[in-house]
Amino acid sequence: MAQDSKIEWTDHTFNPWVGCTNISPGCDHCYAESWSKRSGLVKWGNQPRRRTSEAYWRTPLKWQAGAASFMARHGRRQRVFCASLADVFDNKADKTWRRDLFDLIEATPDLDWLLLTKRPQNILKMLPPNWPASGKPNVWLGATAENQDHFDQRWPVLAMVPAVIRFISYEPAIGPLRLRTSGPQPDWLISGGESGHGARPMHPQWARDIVADCERFGVAAFHKQWGSFLNNPLCFEMGLSAKEAEALDAHGKGGGLLDGRLCRNFPENRRLSIIAA
């Protein structure tokens, strides 16, 4: 459980507990499930979740204590991805653990907590009773949408939840996805291809289309990675070998350049304007 994350869009990861149940095709090659098998620390599926240690739970308080110096060095707040080895809005997780998590979030107002779920239908009933009508200033809420069907199911649900930032993780992208032409839009969208053994392909055009939609509708787009050089346009369309492509594009797994540019935007400006309003 890394305290300083290698994930390009966060500074830290925090797992209040570990363990989850696969619920959609995006879970088929779940990194956390593979990790659970390697570590033997928790059984996957409809099995008890395992709360992480008290010492580990104190780590965000250290990040909070260092917030002023982080801001002085980086000119922005720290981001905490919660959770990489579980789902915060999992029905099988102990309610008191989630209550403790929200207490921790309350105690760390200078950290931006990025809560990402595949179960947005549970968010409203699992938020603390004092959740502000405009969202909590240090909580961004996100849903994973691995393809259009899951975006169409999950985004309308997430769009109804009060949050200063709502985001979509289109990763692993296993099918095309386009934003709606009407109605609310997410503030931020992360895209990325699947990596690892047996990874499913991501067509370069899917990334072009969703980034173009984001630019059209004012959504901050963050293209994280291609997952595999097989998906990278340098190989897929221009015929370079993986080694040749890697020399030109060393960003993320399988490279991350989208037609020669790095597309890595964040929605902070929107968050600041909401809080100031």
- Applying CB under 6 A, the residues found at the interface with ligand SF4 are 20, 22-23, 27, 30, 32-33, 87, 118
CB of 188 to ligand SF4, least distance (A): 19
- E strands, 103-164, in order: 111-117, 139-144
**Among 87, 92, 148, which residue's Cα sits nearest to residue 120?**
87
**Other Cβ atoms closer than 10 A to 168:** 27
Residue number, 120 or 252, with CB nearest to ligand SF4: 120
CB of 86 to ligand SF4, least distance (A): 6
SS3 (DSSP) at 247: helix
CB of 115 to ligand SF4, least distance (A): 12
Residue number, 49 or 271, with CB nearest to ligand SF4: 49
CB of 141 to ligand SF4, least distance (A): 15
Residue number, 26 or 135, with CB nearest to ligand SF4: 26
The span from the CA of 39 to the CA of 42, in Å, is: 8
Looking at residue 160, its amino acid is M
CB of 41 to ligand SF4, least distance (A): 14
Residue number, 87 or 249, with CB nearest to ligand SF4: 87
* Strand ranges of the sheet holding 111-117, from the earlier edge strand across to the other edge: 12-13, 78-82, 111-117, 139-144, 165-170, 188-192, 220-225
Distances in Å between the Cα of 98 and the Cα atoms of 30, 91, 101 are 22, 11, 5
Residue number, 26 or 186, with CB nearest to ligand SF4: 26
